[in-house]
Amino acid sequence: MLPDNKQAVTRRLAGCLVWAAVAGLSLWPVLIAAASPYIVGRSAVYIAAGLAGALSLALLFVQPLLAAGLLPGLTGLHGRRWHRVAGFLIVAAVAVHIGGLYITSPPDALDALLLVSPTPFSIYGVAAMWGLVLTVVLVAFRKHLRLRPLAWRIIHNALVAGVVATSVAHALLIEGTMGSLSKIVLCSCAVLTTAAVTLYLRVIKPRRKREALAQKAHGTASDLSARS
């Protein structure tokens, strides 16, 4: 009884630590951006646009953890349901980001969208936006597209890898309100979790499943031979 209880408490504590780490890593740069001295003189719309950009970067880090069900309390189906919610939030945050920038300075935003901006990082941002648009199409028309599940997953993962890579390049090259250290740490987290989870869900987990199945088949076969 006691060891069981002890185990549950330890698990709970570990869960809290994981959540604290994830929340800290994702919200730290957003809070730094909110407290930045550069927002002096900026309009509320511009401030909101910048924060929405930082928030969507933070969500890119959490998103793979939800897909793999790695966050304590959000495993399996729960994780995937929140993966979908976080997907909506990313799209909403990016819409606020681009819309807010457009309201703040239409010529600068148009230059970026038309790929004629003097700022090299905007090209990465626009590439990430189109990657996100394609991902939305892929998710929204999942049934209509009639792709085989494996094909759908490969396209989804490839698009998302592109979105994360271009978003990170976009964020790192910008001189803005996010702190350099917290920005680099968050970008690294997003890249690492995306890569690790893709590898885990698409390579390691299926292989384990195959091996388990093979072992099971082998087991039943030997059972049968023993019986006969």
The binding site for another protein (CB under 8 A) comprises 38, 40-43, 46, 101, 104-105, 107-108, 111, 116-119, 121-122, 173-177
> Measured from the CB atom, is 117 or 198 closer to another protein?
117
Question: Which residues, 6+ apart, have CB-to-CB distance to 190 below 8 Å?
Answer: 57, 60, 61, 164, 167, 168
> Measured from the CB atom, is 159 or 169 closer to another protein?
169
Is the alpha carbon torsion for 221, 222, 227, 228 positive or negative? Answer: positive
Environment class of residue 52 by beta-carbon count within 10 Å: exposed (0-12), middle (13-18) or buried (19+)?
buried
> Measured from the CB atom, is 38 or 141 closer to another protein?
38
Question: Which residues, 6+ apart, have CB-to-CB distance to 103 below 8 Å?
Answer: 45, 49
- Residue pair 59/86 in contact (Cβ under 8 Å)? The answer is yes
Closest distance of CB 56 from another protein, Å:
16
Question: Which residues, 6+ apart, have CB-to-CB distance to 144 below 8 Å?
Answer: none
> Measured from the CB atom, is 128 or 159 closer to another protein?
128
Amino acid in the structure at residue 101: L
Closest distance of CB 119 from another protein, Å:
5
Closest distance of CB 41 from another protein, Å:
5
Closest distance of CB 125 from another protein, Å:
9
> Measured from the CB atom, is 111 or 134 closer to another protein?
111
Q: How far is CA 49 from CA 34, 181, 201, in A?
A: 11, 21, 33
Closest distance of CB 172 from another protein, Å:
11
